[in-house]
Amino acid sequence: MLQVSFLRQNKEIAKQKLAIKHFANLDLVDTVIAMDDERKQLQASFDEMQAKVNAASKEIGGLMAKGEKEQAENLKNEVAGLKTQLDPLKIKMAEVELQLQNTIVQFPNLPHDLVPKGKTPEENELVKQGGETPTLYAGAQAHWDLISKYNLVDFETGSKITGSGFPLYIGKGAKFQRALVQYFLDFNIAAGYTEYLPPFMVNEASAFATGQLPDKEGQMYHATADNFYLIPTAEVPVTNIYRDVVLKETELPLQMTAYSPCFRREAGSFGKDVRGLNRVHQFEKVEIIQIVHPDKSDEVLNEMVAHVEKLLVSLGLQYRILRLCGGDMGFASAITYDFEVYSAAQDRWLEVSSVSNFQSYQTYRMKCRFKDAAGKIQFAHSLNGSSLALPRIFAAIVENYQTEVGIALPKVLQPYFGAENLV
RNA sequence: AGAGAGGUGUCCGAGUGGUUUAAGGAGCACGCUUGGAAAGCGUGUAUACGGCAACGUAUCGGGGGUUCGAAUCCCUUCCUCUCUGCCA
């Protein structure tokens, strides 16, 4: 959530930056400032009147104690008159505040200076490419054929149990998921992250704090009987650990990692994007999350990008890093780097990680602050990234490591899987 | 799921309608004291909004109500603990 005070002081800059995010209604900036002016004015008159009521009430208390009943009664009537003016003011103030709140949440985060202009994924900026293009034998297959050939994942039975997009992993396929989760967590822990195993459902307040509500309600599964949402990513429960918290500066940076299943309704996807494991409603992911000093978030973002890169290198996958353009970025992010791995069998790049700096957008929304050395309260910055999402990594390894006789494994995974080959 | 007891500041804890401007204690910070430390003494120690400031307003789990006035009374909701039930 953006702060009105910031918009007030940087009106033109804010508009320019919102335009990079392709936010259509730039006049809303002026609207919000006008609403805030009205709010201030109402609050000032309300406070003044309430102060009178408070003072009079205290006086009544004193008169009652002294037994001067008649005077007390007179004063009571006077205050009752004030109250009739106070009540409508109170209602109006609540209205204006709600309206202001509902309006300001419509603003996406402002993009970082490094974010390229552009609207479509084609306009993302290639930052780096690494690893080697795998050479496959003639007759190599895509993962959807391989997993059925070796009986690793059964989509039909998953559909029978739940619906399409809920894969059923079987035997070595299931064990491989477990091995990947374990490897990713260990890799993150070794880099200084603390492991959490969070709840997989969250309440409304948590979903609001990280920006899933009110906008993206339709993208989450909603357990209406209890009004809980199935998490679309571990970012939601883990970041919310620090909702409504004032940290000490010395506690920063907070580095957290968590495994969780992720549930996404993904309305409106179609075609080859959804084939096999490319897009599913339930998948496994290991996430990294940091809460840091605002002066450090640029630097930490680069560290997180380097961390994920190292992880992909260790898996021997060809990868590229993209800096997302304004139009392709998420709502709450100030800057995002996407990682894609190359699938030779599909001849396409698959997104496996997204690392973002949210700056104070989430922390302001969830009131996660810290007290600096001077004793001043400031909003921290939050960042997160996948390290890593499993299905497409699974797909890429299965495809790129296939041989005529089976599927090999990257060296680092062999001890986790307990064999040299997947099949 | 049922019955009961609770939720007060960084923590413990008093407070059953009006000097509560939330007692008292602990912790923490600073100062005095000391050769140094401890003890002792003194001062300070929540957040948000408005205001140049003085200060004002709000907040005793959340929301709503009664009242001139609510931490205190009423309604509602969430959470914690104890017992019972059910369950991996």
Domain ranges of chain A: 4-104, 121-417
Q: Which residues contact A342 (CB under 8 A, 6 or more apart)?
A: A131, A133, A134, A317, A318, A319, A320, A348, A349, A350, A396, A400
Contact between the CB of A371 and strand B at under 7 Å: yes
- Find the Å distance, CA of residue A228 to C1' of nucleotide B1: 20
- Which residue places its CA closest to the C1' of nucleotide B68? A76
A223 and A203 Cβ atoms separated by less than 8 Å: no
The answer, yes or no, to whether the previous bond of A232 is cis (omega within 30 of 0) is no
- Residue A331 (CA) to nucleotide B13 (C1'), in angstroms, measures 46
> Taking CA A234 as the corner, what is the angle to CA A228 and CA A235, rounded to the nearest 5 degrees?
100
Q: What percent helix, strand, coil does chain A show, rounded to 5?
A: 45, 20, 30
Helix H segments across A265-315?
A: 297-314
Reading the block at residue A289, the tokens are 């999350």
Closest Cα to residue A53, out of A33, A78, A73?
A78
Q: Compute the distance between CA of residue A270 and CA of residue A199 in angstroms, rounded to an integer.
A: 30
Q: How far is CA A156 from CA A162, A168, A261, A269, A297, in A?
A: 10, 8, 20, 19, 44
* C-beta atoms surrounding A224 within 10 Å: 7
Q: Could you identify the residue written with the tokens 């998948």?
A: A283
pLDDT of residue A213: 82
Point out the nucleotide closest to A75 (alpha carbon to C1′). B68
Q: How many Å from the N-terminal Cα to the C-terminal Cα in chain A? A: 49
Chain B nucleotides near the protein (CB, 7 A): 18-19, 21, 46-51, 56-58, 64, 68-69
Could you tell me if A324 and A124 are in contact, meaning their C-beta atoms sit under 8 angstroms apart?
yes
Report pLDDT for A32.
93
Tens place of pLDDT per residue across chain A (423 aa): 899 999 999 999 999 999 999 998 999 999 999 999 999 988 888 888 888 888 888 888 777 777 777 777 777 887 777 777 887 888 888 888 888 988 998 999 999 999 999 999 999 999 999 998 888 888 889 999 999 999 999 999 999 999 989 999 999 999 999 999 999 999 999 999 999 999 999 988 899 888 888 777 788 998 888 888 999 999 999 999 998 888 888 888 999 999 999 999 876 555 666 677 888 999 999 999 999 999 999 999 999 999 999 999 999 999 999 999 999 999 999 999 999 999 888 889 999 999 999 999 999 998 898 888 777 888 999 999 999 999 999 999 999 999 999 999 999 999 999 999 999
Residue type for position A379: F
Residue whose C-alpha is closest to residue A146's, from A358, A346, A313: A346
Regarding an ipTM greater than 0.95, the answer is no
Question: Of residues 243 to 272 in chain A, which lie within 7 A of strand B by their beta carbon?
Answer: 246
- Cα A197 to the center of its chain, rounded Å: 17
CATH code, A4-104: 1.10.287.40
DSSP string, A91-153: HHHHHHHHHHHHHHTTSPPPPPTTPPP-SSGGGPEEEEEES-PPPPPTT---HHHHHHHTT-E
| Ordered alpha helix ranges (H), A164-268 | 172-190, 204-209, 235-239
Residues 6+ apart with CB under 8 A from A356: A301, A330, A332, A333, A334, A335, A336, A337, A383, A384, A385
- What's A421's DSSP letter? B
Q: Which amino acid is at A76?
A: K
SS3 label, residue A37: helix
Place of tokens 């895509």: A142
All residues at 6 or more sequence positions from A20 whose CB lies less than 8 Å from its CB, including other chains: A111, A115, A117, A326
Q: CA torsion sign, A320 to A326 to A331 to A335?
A: positive
pLDDT of residue A93: 85
- Residue A274, classified by CB atoms within 10 Å of its CB into exposed (0-12), middle (13-18) or buried (19+), is middle
Statement: the CB of A86 is under 7 Å from strand B: no
**CB A79 under 7 Å to nucleic chain B:** yes
Residues 89-118 of A with CB under 7 A from strand B: 94
Q: Which helix (H) or strand (E) holds A160?
A: helix A155-161
Give whole-number Cα distances, A60 to A22, A52, A244, in Å: 59, 12, 38
> Which candidate, A290, A289, A282, A288, places its Cα nearest to that of A200?
A282
Task: Give the three-state DSSP class for A324.
Answer: coil
A340, A324 contact by CB (below 8 A): no
**Distance, angstroms, CA A233 to C1' B14?**
45
CA of A203 to C1' of B27 (A): 34
Report the CATH number of the A121-417 domain. Answer: 3.30.930.10
